[in-house]
Amino acid sequence: MSKGVVYLVGAGPGDPKLITVKGFELIRKADTIIYDRLAGHRLLAYARPGAEIVYVGKSPDRHTLSQAEINRLMVEKAREGKTIVRLKGGDPFVFGRGGEEAECLVEAGISFEVVPGVTSAIAAPAYAGIPVTHRDCTSTLAIITGNEDPLKEDSGIAWDKISTGAGTLVFLMGMANLPDIARRLMENGRSPQTPAALVRWGTRPEQRTLVSTLENIGAKAAEAGLKNPAVIIVGDVVSLRDKLSWFEKKPLFGKRVLVTRSREQASVLSEAISELGGEPLEFPTISVVEPEDHGPLDQAIAELNTFDWIIFTSVNGVEFFFRRMRRRRRDIRELYPARLCAIGPKTREALEKYGLLVEAMPDEYRAEAIVEDLKGKVKAGDRVLLPRADIARKALPEALAEMGAHVSEVTAYCTVAGRGDAAMIKEMLENGEIQIITFTSSSTVRNFVAMLAAPDLKRFLSGVTVACIGPITAGTAKESGIRVDVVAGEYTIEGLIKAILKHCGF
């Protein structure tokens, strides 16, 4: 069997969007991903179906696998002919032991490539509003391990030179040695009044920044209970934080938001959350698929010119309907003379992409609002086509029937349970690592409850803000025993975001 290849990929400091394009592409094609504790979990969601995911994380007090075992694992997988991504937090060659792993691969005759990552030494200060260089403060930077005992006699750090030899000093993995690091710097000429900062979990929702002076930073950190992982910054650039802080001022900073939409639809909501400083965590509780039986839909498509109205209730309904038309080799002009109704602006936009204009657009997805909007438009005896989800509520076709319309309700798509990692979500809820949960449909609620399978759901969600896209979704949540804190007045993703911001005081 041919030998595989190992890619030593830097995952960046925590924010998954800070990974390089090349690193992202490799994650999507890898056969095996071997990842560290500080490599963002969200990146693993982009692994291809069937990819092997292996956790080898190391923390200061616990190692899942030793470095020698990690090296052996990479070699074994490569000899099986696999493409391996060794996903490492930050940059592989900045205190990431990437050099050691590369040497091991060379000795074993394994091909490898290095994909640099954004190091936390630069990114964590930047997200805290601290540039590591600035023409008015310093033009020199040193990145130093903080993991070495400052008291050992054969130190690899030239304290007498480094203390004053660079304007900005950044120490990684140094929280356990912080008091001794500060003392050695001051003993070797660094002013006790030099500004100093700690940035814990930089670029993530948990980011926390502490600013003091070199002589007081150790005591301040102990008082605040700050521990690893954190970056230590020493230098005049720290004083720029008051002016340049930006990440921590975003409205959803500090919030990890669970997105329960299908993976295909999650991007719009996830993007909005990211722009506002939150971290979206995608947990697809539903997946949208084609119906097993296309018969009723095909029959409706064959009779298109007999309908007076076609009512689309969602973007999914539009996409699956026209996808089926293409497969059946039917011309879009056959929709004439049917008049079109779209529920909500996004559904209208989806139709407009096909060059179609709607004649009715109720803003609310409630049977009462839809019927009110269609009064005087839909007449008794009109034939109405309603292509939508298999589990859609019956209120709308029943209300249309009461108006005297002849309704053909057909399944354009099916909603099935998603494949989100329920065990991981339960653990994160237990640890208080999720602050907001969003539900965009009743099916996302029902599947969320089923996938978690938690008899004590109230305990899991205590302290978590639950936001629903509208009253129907909120009603399903309440029926499922979930407390609802936010209900969007405008039943769109934009409306949901606005409601969440208002709840957060913005």
- Active centre residues (catalytic): 36, 58, 173
Distance of CA 371 to the CA centre of its chain: 38
For 265-277, give the DSSP string: THHHHHHHHHHTT
Other beta carbons less than 10 A from residue 97's beta carbon: 16
The count of residues in the chain is 506
- Is 233 within 8 Å of 196 (Cβ atoms)? yes
Please name the residue that has the structure tokens 């237990």: 430
Q: Which of 146, 136, 185, 135 is nearest to 165 (CA)?
A: 185
Q: How many Å apart are CA 199 and CA 237, to the nearest integer? A: 14
Rounded to the nearest angstrom, the gap between the alpha carbon of residue 118 and the centroid of all alpha carbons in its chain is 18
**Residue 299 in tokens:** 């029959």
Q: SS in 3 state form for 452-469?
A: HCCCCHHHHHCCCEEEEC
User: Pairing relation of β-strands 339-342 and 383-389?
Assistant: unpaired
Residue 144 burial class via C-beta count within 10 angstroms: exposed 0-12, middle 13-18, buried 19 and up: buried
For 396, phi then psi, to 5°, come to -65, -55
Helix axes 442-452, 422-430, angle to 10 degrees: 80
Structure tokens, 468: 């629903």
